[in-house]
């Protein structure tokens, strides 16, 4: 498994695997991407931890919108460096305990399975 942190209010777009864009017909399924019930508070932003299967190489992420084009800020980002479980643990251990948010502390919905 691989992992990444994604800011609250952002969504996943296209997904790439070794052969290019993820092909749901070829794989006969969607990629396994799950939002985990672990988040961090960093510089006032909530960052959720996501888990993806090893076949995923890169992900496109973008801010959630109400259908209108994004006028300001970043329109999309490609995540090329997904991290291992060991790297997640190292990052969590390097933070102040106050920076780690527990799901009960946040007023958001349940983790999403994509």
DSSP sequence for 77-91:
EEE---B-HHHHHHH
Q: What is the residue extent of each domain of the chain?
A: 2-105
Distance CA 49, CA 39 (A): 6
Strand order in the sheet with 77-79: 20-21, 10-17, 56-63, 77-79
Quick one: tokens of 89? 């643990």
Contacts of 110 (CB under 8 A, 6+ apart): 37
Average of per-residue pLDDT across 8-21: 95
Average of per-residue pLDDT across 40-60: 94
- pLDDT for 43 equals 87
Q: Which residues pair with 45 in a beta bridge?
A: 42
Sign of torsion, CA 96 46 39 30? Answer: negative
Q: Which of 34-43, 93-102, 105-114 has the lowest mean pLDDT?
A: 105-114
pTM: 0.80
Q: Tell me: pLDDT of 104 over 90.
A: no
């Amino acid at each position: 498994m691989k992992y990444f942190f994604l800011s609250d209010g952002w969504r996943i777009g296209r997904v790439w695997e070794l052969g290019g864009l993820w092909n749901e017909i070829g794989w006969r399924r969607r990629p396994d991407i799950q939002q985990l019930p672990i988040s961090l508070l960093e510089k006032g932003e909530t960052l959720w931890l996501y888990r993806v299967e090893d076949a995923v190489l890169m992900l496109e992420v973008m801010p959630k919108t109400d259908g209108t084009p994004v006028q300001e800020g970043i329109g999309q980002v490609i995540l090329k460096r997904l991290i291992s479980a060991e790297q997640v643990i190292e990052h969590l251990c390097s933070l102040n305990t106050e920076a780690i948010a527990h799901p009960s502390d946040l007023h958001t919905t349940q983790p999403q399975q994509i």
